Amino acid sequence: MHHDTMSEYLGLFLDELDEQLQILDERLLELERDSAQPHTIGTIFRAAHTLKGSSAAMGLIRIKELTHQMENIFDLMRSDRLCVSQALMNVLFDCVDEIKAMKGDIQEGRGENERDIGELLGRLTPFSLGEGADGRPAVSDAKKEGGGAAGPGIAIDGFHSKAILHAWENGFRALRIRAHFMPDETFAYARALVVNNLMQELGEVIASYPTPEELAESDSRHAYVEFLLLTSEEERTIGQRLSQVSQMGEFNVTAVERAELAAEEEERKQSASEASAPGGSGASAEARSARGGQTVRVDVERLEKLLNLVGELLIDNTRLHEVRKRLNEQFGEQPDINELGDIAHQIDKVIGELQDGMMKTRMLPIEQLFNRFPRMMRDVAQQVGKEFDFVMEGKETELDRTLIEEIGDPIIHILRNCADHAIELPEERLLLGKPRQGKIVLKAAHQDNHIVITISDDGKGIDPAKIKAACVGKGVITQAEADKLSDHEAVQLIFRSGVSTARQVTDLSGRGVGMDIVRAHIERLNGLVDIDTKVGRGTTFTIKLPLTLAIIRSLLVGVGEHSFALPLVNVVEIVRLEPEQLQNLQGQEVCVIRGSVFPLVRLADKLGLGGARTESGTEGRPLIVMIGVAEKRVCLVVDRTIGNQEIVIKSLGSYVGQVPYLAGATLLGDGRVGLILDAAAFCREDHLAFRQEEQHAAHAASAELEEQYVSFRMEREQYAIRAGKVREIITVPQLFTIAASPGGVMGMIQLRGRTVPVIDLSRGLGLASRSLKDSSRIIVMELDGRELGIWTDEIGEILKIRKSEAESALEVLPSVQSDWIEGVYHARGQMIILLGIDKRPPRIDETLTLREALLSY
Amino acid sequence: MARILIADDAPIMRELLASLLIKGGHEIAAEARNGLEAVELYLRHRPELITMDITMPVMDGITAIRHIREKDPSAKIVIFSSLGQQNMIADAIRAGAWDFVAKPFYESRVLDVVSKALAIPSLTGETGES
């Protein structure tokens, strides 16, 4: 065997094998659902045929033999001589699986020879001989071995397209004529010539498949011959004339559709022949595949390398900017220096586009991955006896190819769980008053710079009570801890390792096999996974991922002389702590932010940067960056934040190996190496997480009695809102006012790439409009999934207010007709008005005579 | 129905074909024993159809087809080949035969190909190798 040539083409072959197997899988499913689709069978047939040819060329005898037999079966189906049956479908699916397995062997360098396909061939034979597996004849007009198998139809290439367009312009028809031979035809070649002669009499034949010469080969097994004919005759006439050829089977005559033409020709000629040409323009999958030659396969490594170079360029250009800045400082404004700046800016733009383009070349539709699922779900459904409709949406959503490879396993895991555990048995569902068939929806969509994949089912949902009971039973948490958990928190437990691997939990809750692995996997990709479930109604998993792994948006922070990058997706907020917010709990430093306790990690100590002490002056008021992975939060103490930057991730390399807390490295603008922190590693630290949960639970327990409020001042009055929905409190950034904004909306602010409206409550509170002061702060709340900023003159403090301590608005202020004033609280002789903004955002036009009310009080 | 010329070197085949065609309601215009006779008899009788064997002495069927089509491009010729050699049949078709029947000559097939050939509009000469 020519081994060198082999390996050179093997990669190409395997790629093709992949594609064709995909088509087989997809179309077989289609066939199973809807057996009588000639188009479907045609596609399957061509896939099998293509595989037969290429595997034979590669000397892969077993794959060739298997695909050959499959091709025969499809040929029988296509000519209605074999009907689809469950038994047949199962054999065919098994064949596809076997070829996949052989592909795996080949990829691992074992070749295809280890497998015995005899059994499968044995199972296929009865069908090709016209018997079903049950012994009944499945073939209506039995065609024995040697009956002609045929090739695919004519793929319309650029040359054909040109001729067809020309013909259309001159008022001719372009027809695709397929004439089937009789099953026992022994003179297909001669018969094809007869038809060929007839075709030439009727018009101009621009292509035929197979060519008569191909039919002349003694081993030819084509079942039909197809012609592309340019003619002035009508389809009907062609049909009549064809019927005058003796000893021919059925034939079909179809007009060539515009969509079938090769792409480039179509584009070039589109405008010219729009009016005169018949045929639609809907681009079918068929047409896309017919185009061919429009794409180039590129080795991924080459792309990676290019992307790396773009990254370097990015870094070099940042240096250029810095040099310009230094020159400016040294020599002041000089024409040459300014020009240097202009050039650097121009390069910025070019690099930006280059980077964009490079990213796009790495993007693939998630279809690649999704296409594997219908088949898998079918198998799972059969195995477990469930019935459900599997729907996929957003297949065209594009994301980085490395991500596509990585995200497959977690999705498979969740999907399997949905089918296996979440969806009830059909009878069970009927009893529950649900439709017999369940539904599983897999959806992908872009959201800002992320891709969001959701998997929802309408199954039994996850019962938090059962999860809790199981966790307590397994000793993962204590009963006391379990009692403190909210339902949402309880459900999150399925992501805990001790829980998810426990068999009992699986049986009880119906979920959780390896969910910890799912989460770990997603987190490694800088992603987040969330779960939302309703008992009896179903469950939705939401996976949020960055679009790419190669370039991430990051927050650069400084510790001593070192710079570190934190993936922005993990950054929750940046806070300057006050001394009283720092506490010590069981020997672990923690900080209290808006009433919640978070573990505090001093980066300098953690990473062993002993020399780098915190900058003086802020010793007591450390700057922290709160990072989050899933539900966990950890506050990192840093010296300073440097800014947002897109960074190109470079691995640390094998000589450095795995370094704790580091995910990789990048080059910074000044040419120095910046280390990328692994947010997940910090959040994973068990003792930290444990404490946090304990605190969290303790906090939840006390919440029954008291609620936390953030108080703030407007003019001279104190107000307070519940802390629960408060995301963060920020100093006033640049405020973009909007023309004709609704009353009360002061403007918009940019918050980590999002636009957030800022509301001035003054009017509602009967105060004069606000203006910016040093003490002004904006409270950012999340209401119904949207962010909203509330302007305040000054932030007060965190109040813990027991329900009994507050007087309800109705008692105190009976004249106040607003449902968002909840009550009044007295603290240190001051009256604080509690606003229920989180329950219902204020209507801006609400005219509130609160002051009058207060005065009267 | 139609007047047909039979060209075959085997008397038994001519006999068989003639009886089949007559049974199908056709008339035998003449019987040729080789290609040369076929050309002569065609020009003399101008039948509506010729059934042509390929391997014949003196002049083979393919050559005869060429001669006949040269003189009359509208001649309708159907191959009746008792030899299962596809390439020769193909050559005959390229030479201008309209259709063919290969052994065994089942009655239904023979009458089918003959009636179909008779039904086609007068051939013009565009086929064949010219």
Domain extents in chain B: 3-109
Fold (CATH) for A705-856:
OB fold (Dihydrolipoamide Acetyltransferase, E2P) (2.40.50)
Q: Is B100 an interface residue toward A (CB < 8 Å)?
A: yes
pLDDT of res. A619 = 61
pLDDT 10s digits, A517-526 = 788 788 777 7
Which three-class secondary structure string do you get for A359-372?
HHHHEEECHHHHCC
pLDDT of res. A440 = 93
Phi/psi of residue A387, each to 5°? -120, 125
A329, with CB counted inside 10 A (0-12, 13-18, 19+), is exposed
Structure letter (DSSP) for residue A493: G
Q: Is B129 an interface residue toward A (CB < 8 Å)?
A: no
CA distance A790 to A778: 5
| pLDDT over 90 (residue A442) | yes
Q: What angle do CA A100, A105, A110 make, to 5 degrees?
A: 160
Q: Classify domain A158-269 by CATH architecture.
A: 2-Layer Sandwich (3.30)
CA distance A170 to A163: 11
pLDDT of res. A845 = 45
Mean pLDDT of chain A: 75
pLDDT of res. B28 = 92
Q: Is B80 an interface residue toward A (CB < 8 Å)?
A: no
Confidence of residue A856 (pLDDT cuts 50, 70, 90): very low
CA distance B87 to B82: 13
Structure tokens, A81: 């001589």
CA distance A144 to A120: 19
pLDDT 10s digits, A54-95 = 787 777 888 888 888 888 888 888 777 777 788 888 888 888
Q: Which residues does A330 contact at the CB level (< 8 Å), separation at least 6?
A: none
Among A113-117, A292-296, A583-587, B33-37, the range of highest mean pLDDT? B33-37
| pLDDT over 60 (residue A686) | no
| pLDDT over 80 (residue A306) | yes
> Could you tell me which chain B residue has the CA closest to the CA of A199?
B127
Among A160-164, A727-731, B36-40, the range of highest mean pLDDT? B36-40
pLDDT 10s digits, A484-511 = 778 888 888 887 755 543 343 333 333 4
For testing contact with chain A, the best of B82, B89, B93, B120 (most A CBs within 10 A): B93
How much is the average pLDDT of A580-592?
79
ipTM over 0.85: no
pLDDT 10s digits, A401-424 = 778 878 888 888 888 888 888 888
Least-confidence region, from A294-298, A372-376, B94-98: A294-298
SS3 content of chain B, % helix, strand, coil (to 5): 45, 20, 35
CA distance B54 to B75: 17
DSSP states of A170-238: TT-EEEEEEEEEPTT-S-HHHHHHHHHHHHHHHEEEEEEES-HHHHHSTT---SEEEEEEEESS-HHHH
Asked if A720 contacts A794 with a C-beta cutoff of 8 angstroms, the reply is: no
pLDDT of res. A416 = 85
Select the residue of B90, B120, B128 nearest A190 (Cβ to Cβ).
Answer: B90
Confidence of residue A669 (pLDDT cuts 50, 70, 90): low
Local structure of A39: helix, strand or coil: helix
B18, with CB counted inside 10 A (0-12, 13-18, 19+), is middle
| Structural class in CATH, domain A3-128 | mainly alpha
How much is the average pLDDT of A570-580?
84
Q: Classify domain B3-109 by CATH architecture.
A: 3-Layer(aba) Sandwich (3.40)
How much is the average pLDDT of B90-104?
86
Confidence of residue B48 (pLDDT cuts 50, 70, 90): very high
What is chain A's alpha carbon radius of gyration, rounded to the nearest angstrom? 35
Confidence of residue A654 (pLDDT cuts 50, 70, 90): low
DSSP states of A735-770: -B--TTPPTTEEEEEEETTEEEEEE-TTTTTT-PPP
Q: Which residues does A799 contact at the CB level (< 8 Å), separation at least 6?
A: A708, A709, A710, A711, A720, A825, A827, A832
pLDDT of res. A102 = 86
Is B109 in Cβ contact with A187 (below 8 Å)? Answer: no
For testing contact with chain B, the best of A200, A246, A251 (most B CBs within 10 A): A246
Which has more confidence, A742 or B123? A742
Cα of A187 to nearest chain B Cα, Å: 6
pLDDT of res. A739 = 60
CA distance A426 to A318: 62
CA distances from A297 to A303, A335, A621, B65, B94 (A): 11, 47, 56, 54, 44
| pLDDT over 80 (residue A385) | yes
> Could you tell me which chain A residue has the CA closest to the CA of B123?
A201
Which has more confidence, A793 or A6? A793
> Could you tell me which chain A residue has the CA closest to the CA of B113?
A246
- Angle, in degrees to the nearest 10, between helices A3-33 and A373-384: 60
Q: One-letter amino acid identity for A244?
A: Q
Count of CB contacts below 8 A, A vs B? 57
- Whether A196 is a known active-site residue: answer no
Q: What percent of chain A has pLDDT over 70?
A: 76
Select the residue of A194, A201, A244 nearest B93 (Cβ to Cβ).
Answer: A194
Least-confidence region, from A197-206, A658-667, A699-708: A699-708
| Structural class in CATH, domain A551-698 | mainly beta
Least-confidence region, from A362-376, A433-447, A731-745: A731-745
DSSP states of A84-140: --HHHHHHHHHHHHHHHHHHHHHHTT--STT---HHHHHHHHHHHTTB-TTSSB--S
Choosing from A26, A68, A71, A406, which is the catalytic residue? A71
Asked if A759 contacts A844 with a C-beta cutoff of 8 angstroms, the reply is: yes
Confidence of residue A838 (pLDDT cuts 50, 70, 90): low
pLDDT of res. A613 = 52
What ranges make up the beta strands (E) of A233-312?
A: 248-255
Select the residue of B87, B90, B99 nearest A246 (Cβ to Cβ).
Answer: B99
**Among 3.20.20.70, 3.40.50.800, 3.30.565.10, 3.40.50.720, what is the CATH number of A367-462+510-546?**
3.30.565.10
Structure tokens, A451: 């891709």
pLDDT of res. A135 = 41
